[in-house]
């Protein structure tokens, strides 16, 4: 039965992922006074890209071909293993927070390798920027999640969400960790103020520069993976803030429906807030990134320190 | 100015040039006199162009135009024998001449001896050597064989130096231009542009056309400055014909040029703040306001680019009271919204942080390169053709020239914002007291050379036209972009690569206006 819960969660997240991307684009367009494309456009785009011919650089090696699948696998892994719709612990403790960070890093590394592999100027440029960011993002993310682990005495993310775990009401210091995690999530998903996912200016790109050489089905895969990551982070943050309604191991039909409805609502609200955030600030100068991410790290560190002090 | 020339021992005046004082010097003294004028007398070099006079005088001509402030334009001319078309390079001492001399070398085969950078400029790899398209014996429809001549670009070697080629095809809907970045990490070490991918042959096509037939070509030199180009050309024609443009025509011309300036400044403000920094809301609204202005153009001129109104001798169509009221209401709405947008952006520290100290152009560099327009004024160079060489209705319009000194993207943005307000004030002033009367007088230029100078929204714009028996013999067009493109080599280095689009947008140069 437990496996069925995770299968249901993974399927729902995978199906909702393109909607997340579409939603944030639609909201941004409305904030700009434009009509905006339908939030469901990313589904059409995914199917269109799958059918398109791929143009691949002659210099590309097997790494270029493998990278999209590795990136997708890491995204699918976190979509299935983390407590997004359920608070039940996955088999084998797959939702360990260190493992989560490592799996995300694996995806980043392969994306970087895929960007470097064809040997084009923009790919290398984006790869170098991504590695700079990744090295700053990882410590902040682990520190932020460590605070949750400390107060719930559980290194599994599902344990942090479970009853008697890391509730914000009982442990207000975790607000700091949650803020840090939010800042990290923006950087990890190539959103403002770190990266502009909608820009056409190659020289300013980070994530988009790495995937410039990808086309057709590979591009569809990478875009889906990005959407899944965005969805996972949005739901994870929402669950850390409001850890219900989540499915238990034994589920009922109505309970599943309610959870799915709540998940869609959480996702739409999160994407609305993201669009609001991205419409109200400009992108940060690239050399300010270390200040932004060090800031995130120190907020996370403060959250961890206060959490340790508040332990009985 | 006359006494200055006398002290330099220059007495050989050329009376065929109207609208400027023209002196001839022998080619041995050309560079020396140009250097004296530029360095000792601080006259900025505004244009250097060549002519092919082999048919009439058996020589090539090289002409340097200096901006003499209150005393008008000064042209220095020299003749080079056709079998030995070389002279001592002016670039060795006056940096502002460097692209002009490379241009003349490509187009006329005139060699500037001692030019520090004698590479080709306009002609790319595919053009055979020894082809000089602006010579009179080169037919415009000549089919050339495909050549493969090297076109070397600046290159920096060293450990960790990374080369980023960008373009000529870009992701945005802009014209082709190739930029070569040499970077260490994100920091730009050297930057060079390669332009001239879509040469239109305008200067060649203008030759042999009368004023009326030439005008459509002039208006299409650079789509964002159609009215300014048309006005500069018409002013040259009218100077040659000696005709006085009626007051109402002057008012309409001034109105159109200022509306063109507002159109582009609104666009630039949205583009710099919005697209450059990623503040998308501002970009969306800036482009909406630009669209409002272009629709105003459509209702006034019948096209979206302020074209078709300014003709030699006056204006082609009159604007009735309803049109003027439409201008007034559109202007009020656009300026109100633009001011609010700008204020909103300026309240954001994050925007200021991106713009300040980015893409700094020092005043001495701007002077040396001969920068013009908003870019020069943002670096503390107080030049504006509208005030220094008044034309059309500007003498009766009070306005202040916006000058800032920090020379960064922020200063260029402030100059634009202040010019936007000044332009709106000029238009309102004109509308309050719009002249009446005829709008067109006959204008039939015959022979001679004349200068037309206009301050387009981008900067000082020059047309030097030589007519022979009613048709154009040579029309040297100098769009402000031509002076400002080389500035990227100066502005870029020291910045980080992701800030380059901001530098680029803050200059907003025309590829088409450069690539005649």
Q: What is the CATH number of the domain that holds B387?
A: 1.10.645.10
| pLDDT value at B18 more than 90 | no
| pLDDT given at position A166 | 67
B182: in domain:
no
| pLDDT value at B174 more than 90 | no
| pLDDT value at A311 more than 90 | no
| pLDDT given at position A250 | 64
B188: in domain:
no
For residue A164, name the pLDDT band (cuts at 50, 70, 90). Answer: low
Segment A26-45, tens digit of pLDDT:
999 999 989 999 999 999 99
- The residue out of B113, B136, B159 marking a domain boundary is B113
Q: Under a CB-based contact definition with an 8 Å cutoff, are residues B293 and B259 in contact? A: yes
| pLDDT value at B457 more than 70 | yes
- Quote the CA–CA distance of A82 and A232 in Å, as a whole number: 8
Is B350 within 8 Å of A193 when comparing Cβ atoms? yes
Arithmetic mean of pLDDT, A84-101:
86
Arithmetic mean of pLDDT, A129-150:
92
Can you give the length of chain B in residues?
516
Is A32 within 8 Å of B166 when comparing Cβ atoms? no
Is A200 within 8 Å of B496 when comparing Cβ atoms? no
Identify all chain B residues contacting A204, using CB atoms and an 8 Å cutoff. Answer: 278, 498, 501
> What is the rounded radius of gyration, in angstroms, for the C-alpha atoms of chain B?
22
Q: Under a CB-based contact definition with an 8 Å cutoff, are residues B236 and B443 in contact? A: no
Q: Are residues B268 and B377 in the same domain?
A: yes
Helix/strand/coil for A288: helix
| pLDDT given at position B298 | 95
The residues, any chain, with a CB within 8 Å of residue B407's CB and separated by 6 or more, are: B360, B361, B362, B363, B366, B378, B379, B380
Identify all chain B residues contacting A201, using CB atoms and an 8 Å cutoff. Answer: 171-172, 275, 501
B317: in domain:
yes
Query: Least CA distance to B344: which residue of chain A?
Result: A280
Arithmetic mean of pLDDT, B315-322:
92
Of A33, A121, A193, the CB nearest to B164: A121
Minimum mean pLDDT range among A29-43, A91-105, A152-166, B350-364? A152-166
Mutation for testing the A interface, residue in B163, B179, B278 having most A CBs under 10 Å: B278
The residues, any chain, with a CB within 8 Å of residue B391's CB and separated by 6 or more, are: B231, B235, B385, B453, B454
In 3-state terms chain A splits into helix, strand, coil percentages (rounded to 5) of 70, 0, 30
Helix/strand/coil for A78: helix
The ranges assigned to domains in chain A are 2-310
| pLDDT given at position A50 | 95
Q: How many distinct structural domains can be found in chain B?
A: 2
Number of H helices, E strands in chain B: 19, 15
Identify all chain A residues contacting B273, using CB atoms and an 8 Å cutoff. Answer: 282
DSSP B498: G
Arithmetic mean of pLDDT, B165-170:
87
Identify all chain B residues contacting A124, using CB atoms and an 8 Å cutoff. Answer: 162
- Quote the CA–CA distance of A131 and B122 in Å, as a whole number: 40
| pLDDT given at position A2 | 72
B373: in domain:
yes
- Quote the CA–CA distance of A268 and A275 in Å, as a whole number: 10
Q: Are residues B92 and B208 in the same domain?
A: no
Q: Is B501 on the interface with A (CB under 8 A)?
A: yes
The residues, any chain, with a CB within 8 Å of residue A252's CB and separated by 6 or more, are: none
For residue A163, name the pLDDT band (cuts at 50, 70, 90). Answer: low
| pLDDT given at position B71 | 81
- Quote the CA–CA distance of A221 and A271 in Å, as a whole number: 21
- The residue out of B113, B148, B171 marking a domain boundary is B113
Helix/strand/coil for B188: strand
The per-residue pLDDT of chain A, averaged, comes to: 90
Segment B472-505, tens digit of pLDDT:
999 999 999 999 999 999 999 999 999 999 999 9
- Quote the CA–CA distance of B498 and B131 in Å, as a whole number: 39
Segment A255-303, tens digit of pLDDT:
888 889 999 999 999 999 999 999 999 999 888 888 999 999 999 999 9
ipTM: 0.89
Residue in the block written with tokens 């009446």? B436
Q: Are residues B222 and B362 in the same domain?
A: yes
DSSP B185: T
| pLDDT given at position A228 | 96
Arithmetic mean of pLDDT, B32-52:
92
- The residue out of B78, B113, B148 marking a domain boundary is B113
Global confidence as pTM: 0.92
Range of the domain at B413: 202-510
| pLDDT value at B342 more than 90 | yes
Is A32 within 8 Å of B498 when comparing Cβ atoms? no
CATH number, position B19: 3.30.460.80
Arithmetic mean of pLDDT, B195-224:
92
| pLDDT given at position B3 | 79
């Amino acid at each position: 039965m437990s496996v069925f819960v995770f299968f249901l969660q993974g399927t729902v997240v995978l199906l909702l992922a393109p909607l997340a991307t579409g939603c944030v684009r639609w909201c941004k367009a409305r904030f700009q006074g434009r009509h905006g494309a339908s939030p469901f456009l990313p589904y059409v785009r995914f199917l269109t890209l799958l059918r398109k011919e791929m143009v691949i650089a002659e210099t590309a090696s097997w790494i270029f071909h493998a990278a999209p699948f590795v990136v997708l696998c890491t995204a699918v892994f976190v979509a299935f293993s983390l407590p997004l719709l359920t608070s039940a612990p996955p088999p084998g403790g797959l939702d360990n927070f260190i493992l989560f960070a490592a799996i995300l890093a694996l995806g980043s590394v392969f994306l970087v390798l895929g960007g470097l592999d064809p040997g084009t100027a923009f790919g290398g440029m984006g790869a170098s920027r991504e590695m700079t960011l990744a090295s700053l993002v990882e410590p902040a993310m682990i520190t932020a999640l460590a605070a949750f682990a400390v107060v719930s005495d559980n290194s599994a993310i599902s344990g942090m969400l479970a009853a008697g775990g890391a509730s914000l009401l009982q442990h207000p210091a975790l607000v700091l960790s949650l803020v840090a995690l939010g800042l990290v999530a923006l950087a990890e998903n190539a959103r403002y103020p770190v990266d502009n996912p909608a820009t056409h200016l190659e020289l300013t790109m980070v994530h988009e520069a790495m995937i410039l050489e990808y086309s057709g089905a590979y591009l569809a895969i990478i875009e889906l993976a990005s959407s899944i990551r965005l969805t996972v982070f949005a739901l994870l943050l929402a669950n850390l803030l409001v850890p219900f309604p989540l499915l238990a191991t034994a589920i009922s039909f109505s309970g599943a429906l309610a959870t799915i409805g709540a998940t869609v609502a959480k996702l739409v609200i999160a994407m609305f807030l993201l669009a609001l955030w991205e419409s109200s600030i400009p992108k940060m100068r690239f050399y300010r990134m270390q200040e932004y991410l060090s800031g995130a790290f120190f907020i996370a560190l403060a959250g961890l320190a206060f959490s340790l002090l508040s332990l009985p | 100015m006359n006494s200055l020339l006398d002290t330099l021992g220059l007495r050989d005046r050329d009376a065929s040039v109207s609208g400027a004082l023209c002196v001839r010097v022998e080619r041995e003294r050309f560079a020396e006199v140009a250097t004296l004028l530029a360095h000792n007398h601080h006259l900025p070099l505004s244009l250097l162009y060549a002519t092919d006079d082999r048919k009439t005088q058996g020589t090539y001509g090289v002409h340097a135009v200096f901006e003499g402030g209150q005393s008008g334009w000064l042209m220095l001319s020299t003749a080079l024998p056709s079998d030995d078309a070389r002279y001592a390079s002016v670039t060795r001492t006056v940096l502002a001449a460097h692209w002009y001399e490379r241009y003349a070398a490509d187009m006329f085969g005139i060699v500037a001896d001692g030019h520090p950078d004698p590479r080709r400029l306009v002609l790319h790899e595919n053009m055979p050597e020894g082809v000089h398209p602006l010579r009179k014996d080169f037919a415009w429809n000549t089919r050339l064989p495909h050549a493969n001549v090297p076109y070397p670009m600046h290159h920096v070697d060293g450990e960790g130096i990374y080369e980023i080629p960008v373009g000529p095809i870009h992701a945005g809907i802009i014209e082709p231009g190739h930029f070569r970045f040499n970077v260490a990490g994100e920091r730009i070490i050297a930057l060079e542009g390669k332009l001239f991918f879509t040469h239109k042959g305008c200067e060649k096509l203008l030759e042999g056309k009368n004023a009326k037939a030439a005008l459509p070509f002039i208006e299409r030199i650079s789509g964002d400055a159609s009215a300014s180009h048309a006005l500069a050309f018409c002013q040259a024609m009218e100077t040659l014909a000696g005709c006085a443009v009626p007051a109402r025509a002057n008012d309409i011309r001034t109105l159109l040029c200022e509306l063109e300036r507002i159109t582009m400044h609104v666009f630039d403000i949205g583009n710099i703040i919005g697209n450059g920094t990623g503040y998308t809301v501002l970009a969306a609204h800036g482009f909406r306001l630009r669209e409002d202005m272009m629709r105003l153009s459509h209702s006034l001129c019948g096209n979206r680019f302020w074209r078709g109104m300014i003709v030699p001798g006056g204006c082609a169509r009159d604007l009735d009271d309803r049109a003027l009221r439409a201008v007034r209401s559109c202007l009020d709405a656009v300026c109100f919204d633009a001011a609010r947008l700008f204020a909103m952006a300026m309240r954001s520290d994050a925007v200021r942080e991106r713009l300040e100290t980015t893409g700094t152009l020092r005043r001495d560099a701007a002077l040396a390169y001969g920068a013009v327009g908003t870019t020069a004024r943002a670096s503390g160079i107080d030049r504006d053709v509208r005030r220094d060489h008044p034309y059309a209705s500007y003498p009766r319009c009070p306005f202040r020239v916006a000058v800032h000194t920090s020379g960064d993207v922020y200063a260029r943005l402030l100059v634009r914002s202040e010019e936007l307000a000044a332009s709106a004030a000029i238009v309102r002033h004109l509308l309050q007291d719009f002249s009446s009367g005829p709008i067109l007088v006959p204008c039939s230029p015959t022979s001679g050379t004349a200068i037309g100078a206009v301050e387009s929204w981008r900067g000082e714009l020059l047309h030097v036209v030589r007519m022979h028996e009613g048709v154009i013999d040579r029309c040297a067009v100098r769009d402000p972009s031509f002076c400002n493109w080389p500035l990227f080599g100066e502005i870029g280095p020291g910045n980080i690569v992701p800030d380059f689009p901001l530098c680029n947008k803050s200059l907003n140069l025309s590829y088409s206006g450069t690539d005649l």
